[in-house]
Every structure is written in C-alpha cells, then in structure tokens.
Chain A
Amino acid sequence: MIANERPLLELEGVKKSYPIKRKSLTFKKDYIHAVNGITLDIMARETLGVVGESGCGKSTLGRTILQLETLNEGSVKFKSQDVSKVSKAKKMQLKRDMQMIFQDPYASLDPRQKVGRALEEPLLIHTKKTKSERQTKVNQLLKEVDLTEEHAERYPHQFSGGQRQRIGIARALALDPQFIVCDEAVSALDVSVQAQVIQLFQSLQENHDLTYLFISHDLSVIRYISDRILVMYLGNMAELAPANVLYNYPKHPYTKTLLSAIPSFTVNERKERLKLKDTDEKNGPVTGCPFEPRCPMAKDHCKTLIPEWREINPGHFVACHEV
C-alpha cells in the first residue's frame, strides 16, 4: 500500500438502521442498528475482507456502499465524491464503477432471461454500443470467466452452480467497474468449485485493477483472499488489521473467539476454545461496549464506556478497553 495515495473509498461514520415493529399502540418505533458507525478507507486494488456472524451487518454494509440501501448517517465517498450527493449523471457513472456479486447464483439471475441477454443488459442501460459491439463484449466477458460463446444462448437453469456464479461475475464486469462488493460470493458453491471461483477473483483483480470488498463468514476463505480484514460485531467495528497480523496476533476478544472456533486441519486434536457467554440480549447495552454481554474478559467499565477505535500498531485498529 502506498501511504500517500488517496483511498478509493472513504467511509465516515456510516450508520444504517431499520425500524422494527412494536407491539404497543404508542406508535413509537424501535430501531435495530444493522450498521452502527463504520469508518474506514479502502485503497485501490486491495481486497478488504469483512467477517462476522450472521446478523452482524456485513451484508448491509456492502449494500449501503452501493446505495442499494440508503444510509441514515455518515457518508460514503468514492474517489472523494460523496455518493449520496452527486448529480444524476454522475450517479449513473457510479453505478458503473461499483458492482456487486451475490451469494446465491441461483437467485441472482433472472430465470426467464438467456445468459447472453443478461450480460447485454448492463450495456444497454449504460452505453450506446451497437448490437454487434455488444455481442463482441458479451463474448469477451464469457471468455473472461472461462465460459464459451455458445453459453450465451442458454437459460440459467441449464448451468451448474459454479457456472452460474461465473455468469454473475461476468455481468458485474460488463461495465468495467473499479470496485466490486462480493457478498458471500463463494459460500454457496461446492468445495471443489469454490477454489476455481476464488482463483478467478484473484486473476480478475490483477487483470482489471479491481478493488474488492469481500464479505464472508468463512474465516479460511477470508484469510486466503484478503489483504486486510475487518471484524464486525453487531454492526460495530471490532478489529481491523492486515490479514496475517489479524490471524497471528488477534487482539479483540471477539476475534480471538472466532479464530479459536475454526475447525483445525489437525487430525484428532481438539482445540482449546474460547467460550462466549450466552445472552438473550442480542442488541447489547446502549451505554457500553456492544460485545460486553458475551465477552469472556469483560470488566466493570466495559458496561458503561464505549471503547475507543484505536490504532495499536500501524494499520492495526481495535475497539476494546482491555487491549
């Protein structure tokens, strides 16, 4: 990473909350904070991994960056432009620059649309290319993801899961984006196919200078693909560090718990695991550290003080009082 380079994406205190229905008749709404103040920079050509348990807000974060969800507070800047405050024409350009790849390759393609047509669609929306130009681009895209021209004439249900995910990737590439959110993009694939797609992601990154926000719950995959990793807990940032640092020297108790839970590849050896405290209160206390109710190391002041987001080593950030 070059230090004085301007980041591609700058997130500043991003918050997204959803109203949840209340039983009472008071019309007062409760909010669930899916993303609760995320501040970080994403540099060009890096892969930032985001891990956390289900419901920690990692998917919502990706969607908020792409403006598929409107954020409640904070700002997202792409190349120093605030994405929520740009003109309509610029907005279309942003849609071209930022793309998304989804988890479920079965659900993310229109079952009624031939593959060639699905790949052509972004070109129809955003470019004035002629039919033959679009055709050429579609064929080029298919080749790029290791499919062939004949595949354009087929419907999604005629493909295997891995091939469908390749089509999803080709569609995301159609507009030559710079930034791609991969939301659990390999989680639904068969083991042997997963590795193919991971390698495809890596080679595409090299060939197209892509920047990835790679969301996954799979800690091994995240480690393999990411340059830096953000650990999220209930919408909050717990720890952020370069991949090797995070896995070798985890500081946040939550990160430590996650890592200790990974099944080891070691035969017949049970790992010593850190146990989280059980709690009914999933939303955590409003006053203190959000992780406090389940933290095995919690002290009294954790209940009342929100931990600061501190840089303990260059590039290694953590939000915990006890570090």
Chain B
Amino acid sequence: MQNSNENLLRVEELKIEFSSSKGPTRAVNDITFNVSKGETVCIVGESGSGKSITLLSIMKLLSKNGEITNGNIHFQGNNMRNLSNKQMRKIRNQEISMIFQDPMTALNPVFTIGYQITETILNHSGLSKKATHERVIELLTLVGIPAPKQRIKQYPHELSGGMRQRVMIAIALSNNPKLLIADEPTTALDVTIQSQILDLIQDLKEKFNMGVLFVTHDMSVVTEIADRILVMYGGKIVEEGTVEDVMVNPKHPYTEGLLNSVPDINRPDRPLEPIPGSPPSLDDDIPGCHFHPRCKYAMEECSIEYPSTFTIDSDHHVNCWLQKTGEWSHHVSESEVLYDSQ
C-alpha cells in the first residue's frame, strides 16, 4: 500500500443506494480504494457495475434519488461527506476535475469555446481578464489544439469530436486539479483520436503529478494507461491490483472472462471465450457472489456467501472462493502462433 501521505483520494466502505418505485436498489456496495499522486487507477466494468456512479459520488453529482448510505470519501485527508454544496463547488474543477464520455453534449452550443474555458477560470480564480485570456491560449496549446488564437472564437459545432474532447480536457485542467476523473472519455471517439487523448492524459499526468481515476470497459485501453486496476462487478470490487497483476495473472474468473472475450489484435487466432449471460442490472438480487450465475467455476458456497478478500500479493486482492483452496490459477488462452510483429 502507498504511504498515506501520498494518498490523494481514499474511498472507504462506500455504499450508494438509489430509491425507485420498487424500493431501494444498491448500486455500489462497500467499495474501498485509494488514488495516489501521479498514479492512474482504472475502474473496469460493464454496464450496471456501479463504476460511473462511484465517480459521480466522488464529485457529489449523484442524481436526486441516489444517496451515499455508508462510508467516507477522503480527499487530501478531508472527509468530503461533511462538505457543504458551496465548499464542494470550490473543490470541483479546482481540485478535482471530471471529463465525460460524450464531448458532443458536454459543451454548451451557444457559447464559443474560448468563453467556456474563460468562464471556468474566472469562476475559480482572481486572474485579470488579460491574464485569463493568456491562460486560455496556454491551455489550448497544452492539450494540442493547433492555432489556439483562432480556435477560441469557434463554437463547439465547428470542432471535430477529438477537438471537443481536448477542449473538455482543457477546461478540466484550467485550474490545475490534483485529481482528474475520467468517465469513458474515449469511447465515443475514433481510434486515432482515442490514442491521442490517452497519450495526452498520460503526458499531463506526468507533467503535473496528477492522480487520475479512469473508468472504462475497454481492456486494451486499461492495459495501456493504468498503474492499478479495480475490476468492478455488480457494485463491488472483485479484483484489485497493479496492471501486471491483473492483466497477466488474473485471479478472478470474471477478470479472466473479460480478457478472454475481447479479440486481441496481437493474437488474432486466439478463439474468443465469451462469458455466458449478461451483466446483472441494479435490481437483480443475487445471493452470494454476484458473478456465480455466469461463472464456469461456480461452487456450492458461491451461491451462499459473498467471498471474502484474499490477498495474492501485497497489492493484489481478489474476492473469490476459489482462492480459499488455492487450486485455481488463471486460464488466459494462448494462441498457437504468436503474432509476428514487423
């Protein structure tokens, strides 16, 4: 574990419930994790795993029917659950910034991008108008937007998707946040632009020693950018570890299943092994381990009790009964012929 001084964000035993006409449903169930300075933590999961809701709760942006019922969120040692909305507004975008999946809708179409960036800076700092203007141009240059002086006069619809996502990142970075939260920021983008945005986030992270909390469902993106990985399923973290631990030596059948169900570009001959069934929705009440109905290794106890946490390595934890016996090791299928890169 990291030294507690380096801990930027610590989420402890967090539970989030949503009230609906059918009664409360638990979206996030008892999750604990850290993000340190200069570290990229990736939350991997499918729809309904609670990954996006976790992010929103950190930003205190949960919709009205969602509520944190248990646990704490510490940011730089302060408990954020005690903060008023006013204090929270200050922290948002100044200390913690968030970028969203869809750059098309996250910008206001009636204002120029220059105005929108200026606005976030003015909201949070006492800079003069001229200094602000220079800062805007600096930010746009930083995120790799060519000819920033002309761009600031443009409206969102005049920019391509990748450019808009860069603008979003510029806005997110405008006040030098300590933590950047990204909710599938590249899913809506083309692959060439995705790679640029990923590289950009990595560069900026190194430059400013930011913590990055990154949510995605794309295993290849995770491998590329993550330092540590949290695998979420059914509102719980089922496996946690460094990228090497989780990707090379997955210990949870779900993680293994995810890896085996994506085509690997480097090993095209490897057959896919899909996980049967589909991810549970929030109102499914599954006893025991949430994954057991889809798990090919499911044992009797899996449907009775939720597995306790087993420590594989100092940083590698997994919630699966298979670890109790220690019989199971991973089965990531290998192709016969490895891709011969040129």
Which residues of chain A have C-beta atoms less than 8 A from B119's C-beta? none
- Can you name the residue of chain A whose Cβ is closest to the Cβ of B222? A263
19 further interface pairs, Cβ-Cβ under 8 Å (given A192-B278, A220-B265): A53-B191, A161-B47, A191-B262, A192-B46, A193-B279, A194-B262, A198-B272, A199-B272, A247-B268, A248-B339, A260-B195, A261-B191, A263-B224, A265-B223, A265-B264, A265-B266, A266-B223, A267-B244, A276-B192
A257 part of interface (Cβ distance < 8 Å) = yes
Within 8 A of A (CB), among B315-342: 339-340, 342
Which residues of chain B have C-beta atoms less than 8 A from A77's C-beta? none
Looking at B14-22, B110-118, B212-220, the stretch in contact with chain A turns out to be B212-220
> Which residue from B190, B279, B281 sits with its C-beta under 8 Å from A192?
B279
Taking residues whose C-beta sits less than 8 angstroms from the other chain, chain A's interface range is 35 or more
Residues of B within 8 A of A (CB): 46-47, 146, 160-161, 190-192, 194-195, 198-199, 202, 217-221, 223-224, 243-244, 247-248, 257-258, 260-266, 268, 272-276, 278-279, 281, 294, 339-340, 342
Whether the pair A223, B278 counts as a contact (CB closer than 8 A) is: no
Whether the pair A191, B263 counts as a contact (CB closer than 8 A) is: no
Whether the pair B199, A278 counts as a contact (CB closer than 8 A) is: no
Whether the pair B278, A163 counts as a contact (CB closer than 8 A) is: yes
A sample of 13 inter-chain contacts (CB < 8 A) reads A192-B275, A193-B46, A194-B261, A195-B274, A196-B261, A198-B272, A198-B274, A220-B263, A243-B268, A263-B220, A263-B223, A265-B220, A265-B247
Bound CA–CA A180/B257 (angstroms): 29
Whether the pair B265, A219 counts as a contact (CB closer than 8 A) is: yes
Distance from A197 Cβ to chain B, minimum over Cβ atoms (Å): 8
Whether the pair B191, A219 counts as a contact (CB closer than 8 A) is: yes
Q: A261 and B192 in contact (CB under 8 A), knowing A161-B47, A162-B278, A220-B263? A: yes
Classify the interface of chain A: helix, strand, loop or mixed.
helix
Bound CA–CA A193/B47 (angstroms): 11
Distance from B230 Cβ to chain A, minimum over Cβ atoms (Å): 16
Whether the pair B278, A190 counts as a contact (CB closer than 8 A) is: yes
Residues of A within 8 A of B (CB): 53-54, 160-163, 190-196, 198-199, 217-221, 223-224, 243-244, 247-249, 257-258, 260-268, 270, 273, 276, 278, 282
Whether the pair B340, A248 counts as a contact (CB closer than 8 A) is: yes
Distance from B114 Cβ to chain A, minimum over Cβ atoms (Å): 17
Whether the pair A191, B258 counts as a contact (CB closer than 8 A) is: yes
Q: A195 and B223 in contact (CB under 8 A), knowing A163-B278, A221-B263, A261-B195? A: no
Which residues of chain A have C-beta atoms less than 8 A from B263's C-beta? 198, 220-221, 223-224
Bound CA–CA A195/B276 (angstroms): 9
Which residues of chain B have C-beta atoms less than 8 A from A54's C-beta? 161, 190
Whether the pair B243, A268 counts as a contact (CB closer than 8 A) is: yes
Bound CA–CA A258/B192 (angstroms): 6
Q: A247 and B265 in contact (CB under 8 A), knowing A258-B191, A267-B243? A: yes
Interface centre among B195, B198, B221, by most chain A C-beta atoms within 10 angstroms, is B195
> Which residue from A53, A199, A268 sits with its C-beta under 8 Å from B192?
A53
> Which residue from A191, A193, A264, A278 sits with its C-beta under 8 Å from B266?
A264
Whether the pair B273, A217 counts as a contact (CB closer than 8 A) is: no
Whether the pair B262, A220 counts as a contact (CB closer than 8 A) is: yes
Distance from B25 Cβ to chain A, minimum over Cβ atoms (Å): 16
> Which residue from B47, B195, B275 sits with its C-beta under 8 Å from A263?
B195
Which residues of chain B have C-beta atoms less than 8 A from A219's C-beta? 191, 265
Bound CA–CA A217/B188 (angstroms): 11
Bound CA–CA A111/B340 (angstroms): 48
Whether the pair A53, B190 counts as a contact (CB closer than 8 A) is: yes
Whether the pair B276, A196 counts as a contact (CB closer than 8 A) is: yes
Whether the pair B223, A192 counts as a contact (CB closer than 8 A) is: no
Which residues of chain B have C-beta atoms less than 8 A from A198's C-beta? 263, 272, 274
